[in-house]
Structure 1
């Protein structure tokens, strides 16, 4: 079997580098019960999914050349190794997902790719995802993470891949919220410097029963993984051990994004990711002007729920537009304009008088409106 020539390999690498992976955070936080090769194969297959046009019958197609390039395999034994990797993925690999629900946690065990088809006379490989895994790959309106498949390409440890995805999940939240008004400075710092207790880190990396000595665990799961991540991805990560008594209780990581890292082509269609700080500030000015002109703003002023100091505070107005006005929209649609005005009057009369330095008008108005919608208080009840 001939090797893939350099020009063709570079073309394959360029094509792979233009793709992104998007996964729900519950999947990223799940336990991947598989080794490096099935995990990387899964990630490569996910990068073929267009979330705006989900694949028919949950099927995507890869090429063998693409797979061999991704895994940097060019020897004569590559087809046998590919077959063994597929068999191992289907026989042993699954995700153990833990979802938080109102009454506790819900657990799922999902084999992500139950069917793979290929032949010996063309380059095409058919991969069909299990239906149970698809919501974590295409239903991504909230709580999802996007990252470059090319970053994972060079990682040669299962722990490196798992931690890289976990770092991406945390840092992406920092990038998403850093110019928005609804996160505190401490919350933003926590996204850049996430902390995880050792037992949770062992569960995440599927090492609960491995490396019982902490020094072995630290070297194999943390140090070696971070060395790879720092070498081959767009992150530089440091960490410190935090003690509780005489034992190591948790690890705090500090994530920094490399300046002038490889062109992040995978974000080429992500408008928010491309905005500079100046552009974000300019966009906030536009959003602020729109929010001030919103009829709900004038209604709040007329109801003596907003004052000049509130209007002058860009953060307050942007938070109102994001957290309160959508609730008012729903309230008006369901109960009418009169109900909103009556509700505002009721809120003003019942509002606890507390000092401005402790006042959170956005939170107060949001909770009040949601409670009203949930309870469906009548106008008469509020006038009593």
Structure 2
């Protein structure tokens, strides 16, 4: 689901996912201002300090910092929920800042429109929120930049809003409010796109579902091949794989996709007995093997061994002619 969300293809999904995660970790941080006693308490939190994944299955572990959890748990209460699919399409930092602020206001509009608890003019103010230029500069961290309003208007307002209108579920316009000869504040007008305007989202959803079906078919093919493979039997014989682990479809598909092709390379160099010899050696060194990472362990073992075999064949060509006699790991 994460690979699909980040729109990474099968061919380079791990490298592109790594880039997406690194970008997310560098850019994602929360600055929180809370009343405390006679003044305010300020917090800066990096919410995602740890991400872990492998190149042999599609399991991803994302660990959130404990200090951010109270805020995440109360997202709905604080009206800061927004669609991840919207954010994924926004590239400008000003687009992200404005989208989050506009989304927070519109969420309150939707909430109080249904639940009540606010006067009609207050509810409408959430759909048409106003912010002073001073506050907007603080929010976008542009207090000391874009001194000319023309540049500020283009780079911090117009261009980001064009991106928001193109890629999210909002259509947003704005009015500049003057005080004297200067622009004092901005009033935004937020409209939710109607379903008829959302064909692109429906198409994206259909494409996503079709992609999921194709991945499921690919995994099923890999699983079938793995169950029929002679290498699976050899792993069972050497107690490197258990019947219980064979019920893990992701594990078996991962072995077929990433480990068994390397066994084919070894078989071409040393014959099937060479593969058997390698697995016997791996079995003897099993104290280093973790049941949780069997595919990773087997992949690492064969990746480390294959270059040695190839080097032996380069240095001693007569060894390459020998098939089925095994080879020492020493």
Under TM normalisation by the shorter chain, which class is it? 0.5 to 0.7
2:180 paired with 1:242: no
Residue equivalent to 1:257: 192
**1:137 matched to 2:72:** yes
How do 1:32-111 residues align onto structure 2 when only pairs under 5 Å count? 66-67=2-3, 69-74=4-9, 79-87=14-22, 89-90=24-25, 93-101=28-36, 103-111=38-46
Question: By how many angstroms is 1:83 displaced?
Answer: 3.1
When the two chains are superposed, the root-mean-square deviation of aligned CA atoms in Å is 2.8
Q: 1: CA distance between counterparts of 2:188 and 2:74?
A: 29
Give the 3 Å change call, closer, same or farther, for CA 262–246 of structure 1 in structure 2. same
How far off its partner does 1:109 sit? 0.9
Aligned ranges 1:210-289 → 2 under 5 Å: 210-260=145-195, 261-262=197-198
Q: Secondary structure at the match of 2:102?
A: helix
Give the counterpart of 1:154 among 83, 89, 95.
Answer: 89
- Alpha-carbon deviation of 1:90? 4.3
**1:183 counterpart residue number:** 118
Whether 1:172 and 2:107 are equivalent positions in the alignment is yes
TM-score normalised by the chain length of structure 1: 0.47
**Structure 1 residues 259 and 82: alpha-carbon distance in aligned structure 2, compared to 1, 3 A threshold:** closer
Q: Secondary structure at the match of 1:147?
A: coil
Q: After TM superposition, give the deviation of residue 92 of structure 1 in Å.
A: 6.3
Taking structure 1 as reference, are residues 158 and 74 closer, same or farther at Cα in structure 2, changes over 3 Å only?
Answer: farther
Instruction: State the alpha-carbon separation in 1 of the partners of residues 28 and 115 from structure 2.
Output: 39
Shift of 1:237: 0.8
Distance in 2, matches of 1:111 and 1:102, equals 25
Which residue, 187, 196, 199 being the options, matches 2:134? 199
Runs of 4+ in 1 over 6 A off after TM superposition: none
For residue 112 of structure 1, report the CA deviation from its aligned partner: 0.8
Which whole-Å CA distance do the structure 1 matches of 2:26 and 2:84 have between them? 24
Q: What is the distance in 1 between the residues matched to 2:126 and 2:101? A: 11
Unpaired stretches in structure 2, ≥5 consecutive residues = 203-330
SS at match of 1:252: strand
**C-alpha spacing 1:198/1:115, structure 2 compared with 1 (3 Å):** same
| Bigger fraction of residues in helix | 2
Long gaps (5+) in structure 1 = 1-11, 13-65, 266-384
Matched positions, count: 200
Q: Which has the higher contact order (CA 8 A, sep 6+)?
A: 1
